[in-house]
Amino acid sequence: MEEKYKKTVASDTASLTVRGNTFELPIYGGSTGPDVIDIRTLYRDTGMFTFDPGFTSTASCESAITYIDGDKGELLYRGYPIDQLAEKSDFLEVAYLLLNGELPNKQQDEEFKHAITYHTMVHEQLSKFFGGFRRDAHPMAIMCGVVGAMSAFYHDSTDINDPEQRKVASNRLIAKIPTIAAMTYKYSIGQPFVYPRNDLNYAENFLYMTFGVPSCEEYKVNPILANAMDKIFILHADHEQNASTSTVRLAGSSGANPFACIAAGIASLWGPAHGGANEACLKMLSEIGTVDRIPEYIDKAKDKNDPFRLMGFGHRVYKNFDPRAKVLQQAANEVLGELGINDPLLEVAKELERIALEDPYFIEKKLYPNVDFYSGIILKAMGFPTEMFTVLFALARTVGWVSQWSEMIEDPTQKIGRPRQLFIGESERQYVSIDKR
Ligand code: SDX
C-alpha cells in the first residue's frame, strides 16, 4: 500500500466493560468514512470473540482503492466519482487508476494499453480445456474452471512474493479475461474461437471476439455498443469489500496463486444474491412480463413467508440509490433508443422501479435499484444471452479483484484470514460401540 495512506489513531478510545472488567480499545480514523474500533486484543483480554455473521459491522482490512458512502449513494475509485469516470474515462485508464492509485499520464496510458493489448491471446493449449465441458454448461462454470486452470499454464507468474511476477500475473489476468469470456460464449453456441485484434480497444476487441465470425464475414464493431460496453465495464470494475472481493482476499491471504484466487472470486460472484442478480433480474422481469402484473410481484417481495425478492433491488451498503444504477438507467435509454429497440421489459423495469420507490415497504427498508437492475436490459439489447451477464460482471470485476489482491499482498501487516465461531454443538462425549447404540 502507498506509504502516503495511513490510518490515524484517535485521541479517544472505546471503553468496553465485560463482566466487571473495563477495556480501552483504540479507535482509528481513515481519510473518510466510519472510524474503526481495534478489537484485536479482545480475545486475549476477555476470552471472548465478537459475533458478526455476514460481517455487516466489520472492517476486514485497510484499503485505499474504492470508497462507498451507502447513505449518500456515493462511489469513488481512488477518490474519483464513478459518474465522472463513466462519462470521461475508459476502462483501461480506470484499470490503471485502480491498480496504481493515480490516473496515468499519456505515456503511462499508452504503455499500459500496449502491455494489455499484446497479452490478450491465450496459450493455444488453453482452448483444449473447453472441450471437456458439456456444450450447454453454464458459462460461469466454464469461467471458474478455465481461469483456475491458468495456474497450470503460467508458472512463471505464480510467485506472489515477487513484485515483477505479481505485475505479470495481474496484466495477464486483465488482458486474457475478455478472450476467455468470449471463448466461453463461442463454445456455448458452437462457433469457432476468434483471436483478438490489436487494432481494437479493450471493449471493441471483446465485442469482436464475441460476435465476430471473421472466417465468414467482416464484423464491424458498432461504436454505440462499444461505448456502452466500456461504460458497463467501468461501472463493474470494483466495489470495496463485497462478497467476491472478500473471497479473493481470503484465498490470497493463504498465499494461493493469483489465478486460483480470481477463480474463487468468480465462483462467489456467480451467486444470485451477488453478481448473478443481473441474470436473475432479467428472468424476473420476463416472468412479470407486463406492467399490470407488477403489483402481484411487489406483494410477493413484501411477503415474509415468500422467499421471492425483487432481484436488482436492495444492497448491503447502499441505503440510497446505487450511483451505478443511475448511469445504467441512462445508458439503457441511450442504447435501446439508438438501436431502435423497443423492449417491453424496459417499460416493466421503469414501472417496477416507480411503484417500488413509492411503496412504504421499500422506502422504510431503503431498497433501491442496484447495479444489476438495468444492466441486464442493456446486455440483452446488445445481443448477449442471459447466461453471459455474470460473465461480463466477472470480466470487469477482475480489475478490482486484482487491485485488491495486490493491495493485500503488499500490506506488511497482512496475515492469513482465520475467523472463529460461536460453537453451539455437542460438548465432549465418549464413543459408544455400535452394539450399544
Ligand atoms: C451486488 O456488496 C456489493 O457491493 C455487491 C455489488 C458489487 O458491486 O460487488 O454491489 C453487486 O451484488 C448487488 C446486489 C445484487 N443482488 C440482488 O439484487 C439480489 C436482491 N437483493 C437482496 O438479495 C438483498 O438486497 C442483498 C443481498 C443485496 C442485500 O441483502 P442483506 O444486506 O442481507 O439484507 P438487507 O439489509 O438489504 O435487507 C433488509 C431488509 C430485509 O428485510 P427484514 O429482514 O429487515 O425484514 O430488506 C429486505 C430483507 O428481507 N430485502 C428485500 C430485498 N432486499 C432486501 N425485500 C424484497 N426484495 C429485495 N430485493
Q: Whose C-alpha lies nearest to ligand 1, atom 32?
A: 316
Most informative mutation of 309, 318, 401, 404 for ligand 1 (most atoms within 8 A of CB):
309
Most informative mutation of 247, 270, 274 for ligand 1 (most atoms within 8 A of CB):
274
Single-letter amino acid, residue 175: A
* 273 touches ligand 1 (CB under 6 Å): yes
Q: Which pLDDT does position 189 carry in this prediction?
A: 93
**DSSP assignment of 62-120:** --SSEEEETTTTEEEETTEEHHHHHHH--HHHHHHHHHHSS---HHHHHHHHHHHHTT-
pLDDT beyond 90 at 8:
yes
Catalytic residue annotation: 315, 372
Distance, CA of 182 to CA of 177 (rounded, Å): 9
| Ligand 1 atom nearest to 313, measured from its CA | 60
Nearest CA to 413 out of 243, 239, 253 is that of 253
Q: Beta strand 36-37 with 21-29: parallel, antiparallel or unpaired?
A: antiparallel
* 274 touches ligand 1 (CB under 6 Å): yes
Q: Whose C-alpha lies nearest to ligand 1, atom 55?
A: 314
* 278 touches ligand 1 (CB under 6 Å): no
pLDDT beyond 60 at 297:
yes
Using 50, 70 and 90 to split pLDDT, how confident is the model at 321? confident
Most informative mutation of 75, 283, 315 for ligand 1 (most atoms within 8 A of CB):
315
Instruction: Give the pLDDT mean for 142-157.
Output: 92
* 82 touches ligand 1 (CB under 6 Å): no
Q: Whose C-alpha lies nearest to ligand 1, atom 35?
A: 316
How far away, in angstroms, is 392 Cα from ligand 1 center?
21
pLDDT for 219-265, tens place per residue? Answer: 999 999 999 999 999 999 999 999 999 999 999 999 999 999 999 99
Using 50, 70 and 90 to split pLDDT, how confident is the model at 3? low
The pTM of the full predicted model, rounded to 2 decimals, is 0.93
How far away, in angstroms, is 280 Cα from ligand 1 center?
13
Q: What percent of the chain has pLDDT over 90?
A: 83
How far away, in angstroms, is 311 Cα from ligand 1 center?
8
Phi and psi at residue 357, to the nearest 5°: -75, -10
Q: Which pLDDT does position 2 carry in this prediction?
A: 59
The answer to whether the CB of 7 falls within 8 A of the CB of 64 is no
Instruction: Give the pLDDT mean for 290-308.
Output: 93
234 alpha-carbon distance from chain centroid: 11
Question: Residue 387's CB: how many other CB atoms inside 10 A?
Answer: 17
Check residues 376 and 104 and name the one with the higher pLDDT: 104
Question: Residue 197's CB: how many other CB atoms inside 10 A?
Answer: 16
